[in-house]
Structure 1
Amino acid sequence: MTGLLDAQGLEILHEGHRTRLKWHRLRKRLADPLFSVEVMSEGFAAGASMELDLRVRGDGGFVVLHDKGLEGETTGHGPVAGKSIADLSDIRMQEGGRPLILSEDLATMMQSTHPAALLQFDVKDDFEAIGARGIRHLAEHFRNIAAAVIISCNSLDLIVAVKEKLPELLRGIDPSDKLYDIRKAGGWKAVEMELRADLRGPTEPDTIYLHWSLILNAAKEGLDMIGLCRDEGKRVDAWTFTLRDPEAGFSDEEWMNFSALMALKPDQITTDEAPATERAWQQRMAG
């Protein structure tokens, strides 16, 4: 059962361990529109952990989008990195015709949130694209609400730059793709060595984002990646576990994987179906 406002889809308590359920791309349910302000507002009020994607604009600010180009998610055209606020003002999301969310909007919305609320900024551009101007923008708008933000990116150079400019901001790294490649080339021992190096590296991350299947495959071979991270004082987010049929709950295969994941005690699980996942867990645990 959840411990925050009796809301659904916030966390699972199991054997004394709290695992948060993070709302992927601001979706509490997969039926929610992509990057929904309404869902984000609900999450801020309830103390949810949520994630959104950021793309840098041509003026150094950011917009909440996943893709490099506007065509897939919006009514616009062309690369996001070439657009200013004025260019984006008349563009709408494909789902529901909603306005785009700008970083300035986020800063305003986050002035008043539940103390447990946490919003992950998953930045999709690298440091070369964002540059010092983008870092200054983040510092200007989010320094005073740093406790509610964690920033992640595939670019370790960007995370280091954020650490230097905004040391109070939580940081996360996702080495999953790299570790999959290392596993193929050098085996699980090489994966362990690389992960340890990342944990002790210059990014000084708070949270490590690991693909849930990678975590389980490693555990089968005797490598407890979550335990390794915990020993280094880091938290682990296992991404992205989404029920195929939210109304039906866990299939037998999903239950086998999810219960094995929970036994390893991740700090957080990313999902597109947070309330359904919590409900399905409670049903299974009830027999």
Structure 2
Amino acid sequence: MDKLKLIIKREFLAKVKNKSFIILTVLSPLLMVGLFSLIIFLNQKNSEEIRKVAFVDESEQLSMVFEDTKGIKYVNLTELGLDEAKNKTREFYYGLIYIPKNDSLKDLSKGIQFYSEDAPSLSLLSEIENKLEKKIRNLKIEKLQVDVQKIKEAETDVDILTENFSGEKSSKIGSILRMAAGGGFGYLIFMFIIIYGTSVMRSVIEEKTSRIIEVIISSVKPFQLMLGKIVGNALAGILQFIIWMISAGFLLFVITSIFGIEAASSSSSIGQMNPEAVQQ
């Protein structure tokens, strides 16, 4: 048992004193927090920015859906035509929505294009698509001489409440958090096996090439040697993960305190759409 402890101690100290271990332990929390802060910053910048989007509606049936929202202001350039509208959009606007002329409601959704210098955000495209889909659907319903308002009134949202047999109410968020925690811990275990399994293999190869293994095997059993290496590297890995969690938590607390970043509200707003975007 004393020999096993010595092997574990040797492997642990050899791992934690390694320069790559120290550098990775220090830099990883900084990189994680920096990436998280960058995502929050970019999301806040995008949410605060008001984009001006022009549109050309040659069908003359969908212009009314383009009402200004909190983050998007629409400009009607239908009278200018597509080519001139493109030129003006390059200079003054974020992008241009082009709806070609189409007499058939069936084909009205075909050929709609969005022109911009850079790739537009997915949330912006999703909001525009939802506006157009709802309007085209309503036009088709009206053509069938069906009251659109009655159909809207018939739509129902079902929200099932969860409760255990003892009468305590549970939250759906709890199930989501448990699922996320399970996936997160599974990922950590996977990374742990890959990183530190390779570390054990390198340790064995180094000793074999330096012929230290011949001296060690003469005094300890191979099982004790391998067990000591695995436990020593595992303890070093656990120490590294603990340092990562504490450092990342502390850095996040400092950043949110200094810059006043509300991480929860910022992250929940990712992909969030304005309710006015779908009430057309």
Give the shorter-chain TM-score range.
under 0.3
Q: Relative contact order (alpha carbons < 8 A, sep ≥ 6): 1 or 2 greater?
A: 2
TM-score w.r.t. the length of structure 2 is 0.25
Structure number having the greater helix percentage: 2
Q: TM-score, normalised by structure 1?
A: 0.24
